[in-house]
A = this chain, B = another copy of it.
Amino acid sequence: MNDTGTTADGAREDRAAQTAAQRLQTRRTRREVLRGGAAAAAGVAAVGLAGCARPVPGAAAVAAPTATQPAHAAAATPAAAAAHASASGSGPDETTWQEMDRMHEAGIKAFPAETKGLGGQPLAPTMDGDVKVFALACGRVDWEVEPGKTLEALAYNGQVPGPEIRVTEGDTVRLVVTNELTESTAVHMHGVMLPNAMDGVPFITQPPIRPGETFTYEFVARNPGSHMYHAHHNSAKQVTRGLLGPFIIEPKDRAQDPAYDRDYTLILNDSAHGFTINGKGFPATQPLTAKLGQKVRIRYMNEGVMIHPMHLHGMPQLVFAKDGWNLPQPWRCDTLNVAPGERWDAIVDCTEPGVWAFHCHILTHAESEHGMFGMVTALVVEA
């Protein structure tokens, strides 16, 4: 082979795969190391940013701990940009390929980046006799979407997505919803079969829940599957800003589900907070992990206003349910198109070790000249 760069052969493959998995485990340490050179790295990235509205995930992640102001603000200062430009020898509007590579690398090295807040955490019910009671408070919060990018959000219990409600088919469920917003709201259990009065559509099935009020939803969980709950009032604003969460009904007979070892929910969103998976943009998204040979269940839920064809590298996805209803026959794919309001369930048989990229294949939702961002995560299969 006549390579001037890197070569690879079968012997290196297993090693490379292990290295990738190990790399993720040692990420924290490497991030510390990186911070030693943060000034230079952030400076280079900031040059590429001058005059550009798009945040640079990696640059922000690296710069945040040491800078007295966010990297974006620094880059927006013409003097600072000029200084960097002078140091690197290129004008403020140019991005050299070396800078581009460093930004791409910084983003990936920062993954999974720490941010404040984690959505979709399990919500333990209290019991009122046989009734499982879940309390949800709707309020305004600041939500850190990616390192250094904190935006206004509307949230259930301070989380985006709201906490995971998980019950079993046949359970009687009560949701006590308190509105601490400055506007009315209502909660629709999207996909859940329930009596009409519990459907959460203001002026059709109930009055709106006005600021300061509480409304109680109560019903028997009848149809198992991956469902959602979200606002159904001023919803184009309220849902895209965060009033959404997973509502999972486990089947009474677990044999209705295929076998799986790990259970992940990926809620997609795409407007007020940019492109997010479970309320975070890359590199603040969380990886999925599994051991070699395990089966991972993925529950896709789209709460945005655009389609997101989710592409997993390395292994096919066996799609077995649509909107919580089992398909008559599962089918395989590597890119699963998820439209707004849809849920799809898939099983990944983790036969291939390594760190596998996993992202929306609308490339403008996942990568820019400054590196990967938004709807990107990874499936880590540990050998």
Contact = CB atoms under 8 A, between A and B. Distances in A.
Contacts of A357: 199, 201, 204, 232
Nearest to A332: B325
A4 B213 contact: yes
A339 B335 contact: yes
A362 interface: yes
A101 B210 contact: yes
Interface stretch (A10-18, A66-74, A148-156, A254-262): A10-18
A363 B184 contact: no
Interface stretch (A36-44, A76-84, A163-171, A307-315): A307-315
Contact of A218 (B5, B9, B353): B9
Given A3-B216, A20-B204, A193-B352, A199 B305 contact: no
Contacts of A362: 305-306, 340
Interface string A286-320: 00000000000000000001110101011110000
Nearest to A223: B316
Interface in A366-381: 366-369, 378
Contacts of A334: 190-191, 323-324, 341
A1 interface: yes
Contacts of A188: 313
A127 to B, nearest CB: 14
The interface centre, meaning the residue of A5, A240, A335 with most chain B CB atoms within 10 A of its CB, is A5
Contacts of A234: 100, 104, 367, 369
Interface in A333-363: 333-335, 337, 339-343, 352-357, 361-363
B323 A316 contact: yes
A196 B335 contact: no
A192 to B, nearest CB: 9
A240 B363 contact: yes
Contacts of A210: 5, 97, 101
A196 to B, nearest CB: 3
A88 interface: no
A195 interface: yes
Interface in A117-151: none
Given A17-B195, A184-B97, A337 B342 contact: yes
A184 B325 contact: no
Contacts of A331: 322, 325, 327-328
A303 to B, nearest CB: 9
Interface in A84-112: 97, 100-101, 104-105, 108-109
A61 interface: no
Contacts of A7: 215-216
B4 A236 contact: no
B235 A363 contact: yes
Given A100-B184, A104-B203, A196 B354 contact: yes
B100 A218 contact: no
A306 B239 CA distance: 21
B314 A197 contact: no
Contacts of A3: 176, 213-216
A279 interface: no
A207 B109 CA distance: 13
A198 B369 CA distance: 23
A251 to B, nearest CB: 15
Contacts of A216: 1, 3, 6-9
Contact of A197 (B8, B193, B214): B8
6 contacts: A4-B213, A97-B210, A236-B364, A325-B333, A335-B341, A339-B361
